[in-house]
């Protein structure tokens, strides 16, 4: 890092500031709302809409691109491998307030298979060839389409908000022939085949966003492999830093301090892109859903700390720098980021915690220790050292070991280990607990 680079404003901090300007409330108050919405990356748009809620986010949704709208549905209206019509209903209902043209536009942004599945879940469809349709059950509304070809019963989706007849009317107003085709498909197409096709399209898009299938996501916990001696090429950035991921980067860590010292804009953009994809993968790997914003930000913080720990370990192993606060740590850290992908640093940091956890697992087979750990807790124990120690052991011996029992006022909180100092303190604490309880 040259002297001029060290004195220049940090491009990384500028990027974080720009990302935070894309927060939901700030965006809504923008004088250039339309341009700002169109400039949002699809993932960023999704987080903004989730933060506001679909109804309050309508000023943003009505200007969103088809790709942005599709991303929102892909991440918010599927639960594992199953399409959730209730969630899709709530999302579409927000557009109905803007009129039938807006509703039709939103609906047509969906995959054709999803459109058909939603109509089939919302309506019982009768054709002239079926003969005279039976009388509908009490409280089940009925309508005839404008072409008089279909008789529709609004069987509805449990807890539905959108009137399905309003949707049918909007589709007929938009494109008479397409509406006819969709209703015929909803009548005859096999739902399981449609859902399988829709899931394949959806999974392909979410993988492009960095949300792989769970089995593939778990690979971030694999043991780290030796680094190659050659620098990795600067991959073109494929993701921008969402505000939700930028917030934890305001807090100091070795990793964020090192990013702030990266002067090469192309390299920094590639690193930030890799970080976004790593957080997305970690969300899946830790079993969280992208729609739970609190958990997503916790995962982003967890990734930041685990990568920071991995960078500190690598600095000690390869650069022989043991003081993460020293200027040398930042200088050499920038050099290491040219060789060490952030995913490698995450694996390296996670591996250190796994090694610590291995030393705790034998304690669980000790009858005395196990009885202490599983003993019932009373209200009197809530803020005791005993409670903190139990939370510490339970977090450390979980399938994905974490640092627990560090906050006396909130004993249940867990976080990632972010430094070798925390690891050493945890090792000493483990020894003390073991001596006291066995």
Give the model confidence (pLDDT) of 297-334 as tens digits: 999 999 999 999 999 999 999 889 999 999 999 999 99
- 282-289: average pLDDT: 92
CA dihedral 303, 306, 309, 311 (to 10 degrees): -50
Q: Residue 126: helix, strand or coil by DSSP?
A: strand
- 141-146: average pLDDT: 92
Q: How confident is the model at residue 233 (pLDDT cuts 50, 70, 90)?
A: low
Asked if 388 and 405 count as a contact pair (C-beta separation under 8 A), the reply is yes
Is residue 196 scored above 60 in pLDDT?
yes
Whole-angstrom distance, CA of residue 220 vs CA of residue 285: 8
Q: What is the pLDDT of residue 1?
A: 41
Percent of the chain with pLDDT over 90: 71
Q: What is the pLDDT of residue 6?
A: 41
Is residue 378 scored above 90 in pLDDT?
no
**Residue, of 363 and 130, whose pLDDT is higher:** 363
Is residue 138 scored above 80 in pLDDT?
no
Supply angle C-alpha 134, 136, 137, rounded to 5: 125
**Residue, of 43 and 135, whose pLDDT is higher:** 43
| C-alpha closest to that of 244 among 56, 24, 71, 40 | 24
Residue 434: count of CB within 10 angstroms of its CB = 16
Q: What is the pLDDT of residue 8?
A: 45
Determine how β-strand 78-79 pairs with β-strand 124-126: unpaired
- 217-238: average pLDDT: 78
Q: What is the pLDDT of residue 291?
A: 87
**Comparing 61-70, 124-133, 214-223, 247-256, which segment has the lowest mean pLDDT?**
124-133
- 153-167: average pLDDT: 85
H-type helices in 21-84, by residue range?
Answer: 24-28, 33-39, 42-52, 58-61, 66-76
Q: What is the pLDDT of residue 5?
A: 40
Would you call 338 exposed, middle or buried from its count of C-beta atoms within 10 A (0-12, 13-18, 19+)? middle
- 50-59: average pLDDT: 88
End-to-end CA distance of the chain: 52
**Comparing 100-104, 154-158, 159-163, 387-391, which segment has the lowest mean pLDDT?**
154-158
What are phi and psi for residue 400, nearest 5 degrees?
-115, 95
What is the DSSP-derived secondary structure letter of residue 226? P
Whole-angstrom distance, CA of residue 338 vs CA of residue 173: 56
Tokens at 184, concatenated: 């015929």
- 277-306: average pLDDT: 94
**Residue, of 281 and 381, whose pLDDT is higher:** 281
Q: What is the pLDDT of residues 234-275, one digit of tens each?
A: 666 778 899 999 999 988 899 999 999 999 999 999 999 999
Return mean pLDDT, the chain.
90
What are phi and psi for residue 78, nearest 5 degrees?
-125, 140
Q: What is the pLDDT of residue 326?
A: 94
Q: How confident is the model at residue 85 (pLDDT cuts 50, 70, 90)?
A: very high
- 47-59: average pLDDT: 89
Whole-angstrom distance, CA of residue 223 vs CA of residue 398: 17
Q: How confident is the model at residue 155 (pLDDT cuts 50, 70, 90)?
A: confident
| C-alpha closest to that of 259 among 250, 268, 251, 248 | 268
Element holding 171 (H helix, E strand): helix 164-174
Q: What is the pLDDT of residue 234?
A: 65
């Amino acid at each position: 890092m040259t002297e001029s680079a060290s004195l220049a404003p940090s491009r990384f901090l500028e990027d974080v500031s720009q990302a935070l300007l894309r927060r939901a409330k700030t965006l809504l108050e923008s004088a250039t709302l339309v341009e700002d919405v169109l400039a949002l990356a699809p993932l960023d748009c999704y987080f903004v809409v989730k933060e506001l809620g679909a109804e309050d986010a309508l000023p943003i949704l009505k200007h969103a691109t088809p790709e942005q709208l599709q991303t929102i549905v892909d991440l918010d209206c599927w639960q594992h491998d199953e399409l959730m019509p209730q969630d899709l209903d709530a999302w579409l209902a927000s557009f109905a307030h803007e009129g039938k043209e807006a509703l039709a536009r939103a609906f047509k942004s969906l995959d054709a298979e999803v459109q058909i599945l939603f109509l089939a879940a919302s309506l019982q469809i009768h054709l002239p060839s079926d003969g005279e349709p039976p009388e509908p059950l009490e409280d089940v509304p009925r309508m005839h389409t404008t072409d008089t070809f279909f008789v529709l019963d609004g069987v509805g989706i449990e807890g539905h908000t959108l009137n399905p007849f309003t949707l049918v009317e909007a589709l007929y107003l938009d494109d008479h022939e397409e509406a006819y085709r969709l209703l015929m498909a909803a009548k005859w197409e096999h739902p399981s085949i449609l859902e399988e096709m829709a899931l394949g399209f959806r999974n392909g898009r979410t993988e492009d966003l960095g949300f792989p299938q769970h089995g593939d996501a778990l690979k971030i916990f694999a043991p780290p492999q030796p680094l190659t001696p050659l620098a990795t090429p600067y991959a073109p950035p494929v993701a921008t830093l969402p505000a939700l991921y930028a917030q934890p980067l305001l807090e100091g860590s070795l990793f964020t301090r090192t990013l702030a010292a990266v002067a090469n804009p192309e390299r920094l953009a590639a690193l930030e892109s890799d970080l976004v994809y790593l957080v997305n993968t970690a969300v899946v790997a830790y079993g969280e859903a992208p729609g739970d914003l609190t958990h997503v930000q916790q995962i982003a913080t967890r990734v930041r700390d685990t990568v920071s720990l991995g960078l500190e370990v690598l600095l000690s192993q390869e650069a022989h720098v043991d003081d993460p606060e020293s200027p040398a740590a930042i200088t050499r850290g920038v050099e290491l980021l040219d060789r060490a992908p952030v995913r490698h640093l995450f694996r390296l940091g996670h591996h250190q915690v796994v090694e610590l956890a291995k030393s705790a697992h034998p304690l669980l087979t000790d009858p005395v220790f196990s009885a202490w750990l599983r003993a019932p807790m009373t209200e009197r124990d809530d803020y005791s050292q005993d409670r903190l120690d139990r939370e510490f052991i339970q977090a450390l011996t979980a399938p994905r070991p974490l640092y627990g029992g560090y906050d006396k006022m909130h004993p249940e909180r867990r976080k990632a280990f972010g430094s070798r100092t925390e690891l050493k303190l945890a090792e000493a604490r483990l020894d003390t607990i073991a001596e006291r309880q066995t």
